[in-house]
Structure 1
Amino acid sequence: MMTTVYEAFCTTVAKYPDNAFLCVPAYDKRSYHPDGVEITYAEAAEEVARLRSTYRSSGFSHGNRVAYLLENRPDYLLHLLAANSLGVSCVPLNPDYLHDEMLYLLDHSDVDLVVTIEERAKDVQAAASERERPLPVVMFERFSGHLPRPRPAPNPGSTPGLMSEVSLLYTSGTTGRPKGCILTNDYFLTAGRTYMELGGVATIREGEERVYNPLPLFHMNAGAVSFVCMILSGGCLVIPDRFHPTTWWQEVVETRATIIHYLGIVPPLLLNQPKSNLDTAHYVRFGLGAGVEPELHEVFEKRFGFPLVEVWGMTETGRILADSMEPRQIHTRAFGRPTDELQARVVDDKDRDVPAGTEGELLVNCAGDDPRRGFFAGYLKNEAATEEVWKGGWFHTGDTVRQDESGMLYFVDRKKNIIRRSGENIAAAEVEAVLQAHDDVAKVAVISVKDELREEEVMACIVLMEGIAASSEKAEDIFNYSNGSLAYFKTPGYILFLDDLPTTGTQKIQKAKIFGPDVDPREQPGTVDFRKRKKKSK
């Protein structure tokens, strides 16, 4: 039995040395590999061995952690494999994080080193130097020889195993600050295996698949699920820098992708592109993702000639559920049935099972003696939050769903105070904390509003301090303030000044009562639209 991702990789190297492992599409506007590159398993093994030697000779061992800001370069995965061979954990950094966000993550994660691209070195060094224990920073472009020695590892010299930490991924939570999800070898191997076992129209063929995944490597979808699935099946992971609708089909065709991954934003943007012979000149067998609008599902499949398989998963769960068996429920928000391994319940606010067809919170766990097997190992430094989501032996997802008599699950909404924008989970409390620090803000409530393109957008409802007049100029001032402290996708897309906010007897803001059930907050008089100002830094 394989107990580490590195062992699984070595097994596949021996079996399929000449198979493509990692591929980057050609794209002349990208700063790295503009002509594209393809790396075989054998070539990857050589580079992993070099990196492993560098880490080991520099004193890195079982229990150390290294942070990486490498954007979506395939090299991150090679570093992960090298680190995993020694029991070193990888902490990927979202390249859109600003100073305060980066400082928090570097401090909270207890990393011993940061590896970054030169282009971002100044930003990373500024955050690393402010940490309680200043952190050494190494340039990715000059990664060789000896690295700054880390602190003594918690498990020096011991052999990594199934429950050793592979990665620490940060996910937004309702408390404001992101929580660090501890992800083990068991998690990674389980995530990859269960993808391989979906079956139906999502059947994985050993040694043949090429998965085009435009999602970031600091998310579990690309960085764990599809990555390990390709390792276990001897396939190739195709890694663009991000989603580009105008070059999507060209890249998919040129990289000979057989599977594509998507978010809800992808299908409408592709359908809006001019029709082309590339629409059906590809080799794609199926797409895997979440959030396609039911009214676009069949339209997309007919135009582009392959099924879209809707799935459900979370960073904490690793495993995914999928509506992959025919007849698929493509005119609904179905995402599959529980499996023999991944059990599910739909419950009310007191964790009591609700009847079929009734909306409730989705709870999941693993069948057998250990309900947490294959899930995340816990939130770093937050045992209370870990136990809270696992109360009663079931993981509380925070998602509202319903289940029909056949067991099929249908997504309804998110119960948690989380805003889902273009695949990014945004904690409303984190945005509120930044806005509340503005001198002119007395009260603030950050809510999600519908966005036809990005699923949801951030809206800030603000009560100004006494004597401060509401105006478009003040909204501009507050937007700029938040834009200097938050990643671009977290800043408010809309700002609306209100005279007051509804509260409970204990002065807790009642967000559900700010607007009536049939009111579109975006259309309220005085709402200022900042969506065009939310841009990714170059």
Structure 2
Amino acid sequence: MDFQGSLYERFRQSAHVFEKNPLLAVPGRLAETWEVQREFRFGEVLARVDALKGVYADQGVSEGGRVALAFESRPEFVFHYLALNALGACVVPLNTDLTVAELSYQLGHSGCDAIVGLPLLRPLLASSIEASGRAIALSTNGPEGLPRLRNHANAAAVQTVPFDRAAAILYTSGTTGRPKGCVLTNGYLQTAADYARQLPPHLAFAEGVERQMNPLPLYHMNAINTLGTAVVTGSCYVMPGRFSATHWWNDIADTKTTRFKYLGIMIPALLAQPETERDRHSGAKVAFGAGVDPVLHERFEQRFGIPLIEVWGMTETGRFMCVDREPRQIHTRACGRPLPGMQARIVDDAGQEVAEGTVGELVVRHTAEAPRHGFFSGYLDDAEATEAAWAGGWFHSGDLCTRSSDGLFTFVDRKKNIVRRSGENISSAEVEAVLAASPLVKQAAVMAVPDALRDEEVLACVIPAAGVTRDRSLALALHRFAAERLAYYKPPGWIYLVDDLPITGTQKVQKHRIFPDGFHAGLPGLHDVRDQKRWKK
């Protein structure tokens, strides 16, 4: 079978050129905990991938099949991901911070044939399979532990040119309460990787030299694209696991990191660390990310001597905009300019382009002739939502921005009903649906409120059921109810107990009218339960 055009083929070509270069690296502290070596060279990864490819093939995995991976952010994910890609299978990376109910939905919706993951995750995965009601094979001992799979591939998938074949399904929150499955092709993965090579000289990847650390999880497109960039540039992807402000600079020095990815939440956490002489001598020269608070941007750069290059991107786009030159407007929320291969503009609700400096929705495309080239190929089993997102031949981001005369886009607000907490997209409708199921609740409306540490926090405005006592014990009970059904970051951090909610004539809640004088912590009936939101494995 000719796999030309697949990500695996691209990797195999790079492995022959950069055979002795490191592709993956982990800090020493994690190498010991995970019981893996500290670095994996291109040639060695190729050997591991090809060995896994053979075992997966023996177990019946073939073109068009779908396999979910639960390896968290460890090197094993990369080995299995590339091996499955080599066979023409589609990978579904799992977020194992989700609850059984959330995971079972994704397993059912994605139609995966099997799950392969870490032994410590077996109880969660087994429960999620049971809750899905589907017969999904599970192995926490590699593909060897799978029963032989029947070929579930559909004819359309098998006949697709490898470059256009689905390589991954990544789930991203929408406004309907259920996450959408973004289908990403081999073409998407490689277009995104090559796009990063177009950065201007002062930001460009030095081929075969860069070592980029990314703490974002591998079920995010950011991390998937970091791997793609490493593959096409012969550089090293440094995998530090879950972000730790305490270990951050030690890990950078330990792995000889030259650049890193960040989220806005990381910046105040790093600034809160005790100052040391090492601050300006970490070895990292530049960082790329999104959401840094303008108040902290200059402070970080002055203390650590590392420019924070703001970017904008989405799972659906693969490619990004980048604040590519001075002046970077670091005291604003400037989020970049598109590089060649992506076009962007600002439009009003009618889809008409607005004047410079006017707030409107950011829309993007490849070109007028081929608007969707290199973008996601659609939302899984949701053609209606896909076409709605592409109304007028442009992908509608749902983000409100402005554009200046020099082409710099600046983020203003979010149009969609999404809470952006610590880099995670949380659907307000999803949280509302969970709260509405509580017998303590008559009605609930969920919205985003500003948060100094996490960018935004989830706030639930709740009309309690008749006869329910309205005090802090109720707020804590509602938080517990949500926490039992949602991933740890999704339940409300603030609960506002109210008598009624402003509504339209069609009974839709008018969220913009809930706080006519602005949100503040001293409001009667408002309860801060943010200290209840803790990550647990």
Q: What is the TM-score when the length of structure 1 is the normalising length?
A: 0.96
Once the two structures are superposed, what CA deviation does each residue of 1:262-320 show, in whole Å capped at 9, x if it has no partner? Answer: 00011211111111232123221210001112222222122212211100000000001
Q: How does 1:70-219 map to 2 (within 5 A)?
A: 70-139=71-140, 141-144=141-144, 147-155=147-155, 161-219=162-220
Q: Does 1:264 align with 2:264?
A: yes
Q: 1:143 to 1:519 in 2, by over 3 A?
A: same
Q: How far did 1:349 drift?
A: 1.3
Question: Would the aligned equivalents of 2:475 and 2:529 in 1 still touch at CA under 8 Å?
Answer: no
Q: Does 1:277 align with 2:277?
A: yes
Q: 1:117 to 1:310 in 2, by over 3 A?
A: same
Distance 1:301 1:467 in 2: 54
2:369 matched residue in structure 1: 369
Q: 1:160 to 1:70 in 2, by over 3 A?
A: farther
Distance 1:432 1:389 in 2: 23
Q: How far did 1:30 drift?
A: 7.7
Q: How far did 1:439 drift?
A: 1.1
Q: Secondary structure at the match of 2:374?
A: coil
The code of the aligned residue for 1:7 comes to E
Distance 2:150 2:260 in 1: 39
Question: Would the aligned equivalents of 2:103 and 2:128 in 1 still touch at CA under 8 Å?
Answer: yes
1:290 matched residue in structure 2: 290
Q: How far did 1:151 drift?
A: 4.0
Once the two structures are superposed, what CA deviation does each residue of 1:136-177 show, in whole Å capped at 9, x if it has no partner? Answer: 1111x4543764314431248768611111100000000000
Question: Would the aligned equivalents of 2:24 and 2:75 in 1 still touch at CA under 8 Å?
Answer: yes
1:312 matched residue in structure 2: 312
1:426 matched residue in structure 2: 426
Q: How does 1:316-331 map to 2 (within 5 A)?
A: 316-331=316-331
Once the two structures are superposed, what CA deviation does each residue of 1:43-85 show, in whole Å capped at 9, x if it has no partner? Answer: 1011101110011111111111011111111111111100111
The code of the aligned residue for 1:65 comes to R
Among all aligned residue pairs of Structure 1 and Structure 2, give the percentage whose two residues are the same amino acid: 43
Q: Secondary structure at the match of 1:106?
A: helix
Q: How far did 1:369 drift?
A: 1.8
Q: Secondary structure at the match of 1:162?
A: helix
The code of the aligned residue for 2:26 comes to V
Question: Would the aligned equivalents of 1:90 and 1:168 in 2 still touch at CA under 8 Å?
Answer: yes
Question: Would the aligned equivalents of 2:170 and 2:182 in 1 still touch at CA under 8 Å?
Answer: yes
Q: How does 1:324-473 map to 2 (within 5 A)?
A: 324-473=324-473
CA RMSD of aligned residues (A): 1.7
Distance 2:43 2:114 in 1: 28
The code of the aligned residue for 2:527 comes to V
Q: 1:460 to 1:29 in 2, by over 3 A?
A: farther
Distance 2:174 2:160 in 1: 33
Q: Secondary structure at the match of 2:164?
A: coil
Distance 2:7 2:466 in 1: 58
The code of the aligned residue for 1:40 comes to R
Question: Would the aligned equivalents of 1:60 and 1:153 in 2 still touch at CA under 8 Å?
Answer: no
Q: 1:142 to 1:386 in 2, by over 3 A?
A: closer
Q: Secondary structure at the match of 2:521?
A: helix
1:525 matched residue in structure 2: 524
Moved more, 225-234 or 268-277: 268-277
Moved more, 289-298 or 521-530: 521-530
Moved more, 339-348 or 151-160: 151-160
Q: Secondary structure at the match of 1:470?
A: coil
Distance 1:369 1:427 in 2: 33
Moved more, 22-31 or 410-419: 22-31
1:14 matched residue in structure 2: 16
Question: Would the aligned equivalents of 1:61 and 1:87 in 2 still touch at CA under 8 Å?
Answer: yes
Question: Would the aligned equivalents of 1:169 and 1:218 in 2 still touch at CA under 8 Å?
Answer: yes
Question: Would the aligned equivalents of 2:139 and 2:146 in 1 still touch at CA under 8 Å?
Answer: no
Moved more, 146-155 or 13-22: 146-155
Question: Would the aligned equivalents of 2:114 and 2:137 in 1 still touch at CA under 8 Å?
Answer: yes
Q: Structure 1 unaligned runs (5+)?
A: none
Aligned length: 534
Question: Would the aligned equivalents of 1:213 and 1:240 in 2 still touch at CA under 8 Å?
Answer: yes
Distance 1:341 1:131 in 2: 40
Distance 2:308 2:83 in 1: 34
2:227 matched residue in structure 1: 227
Distance 1:425 1:148 in 2: 37
The code of the aligned residue for 2:11 comes to F
Distance 1:232 1:423 in 2: 26
Q: Secondary structure at the match of 1:448?
A: strand
Once the two structures are superposed, what CA deviation does each residue of 1:378-400 show, in whole Å capped at 9, x if it has no partner? Answer: 00011100010101100000000
Question: Would the aligned equivalents of 1:213 and 1:239 in 2 still touch at CA under 8 Å?
Answer: yes
Question: Would the aligned equivalents of 2:138 and 2:146 in 1 still touch at CA under 8 Å?
Answer: no
The code of the aligned residue for 1:84 comes to N
The code of the aligned residue for 1:338 comes to P
Question: Would the aligned equivalents of 2:501 and 2:514 in 1 still touch at CA under 8 Å?
Answer: yes
Q: Secondary structure at the match of 1:331?
A: coil
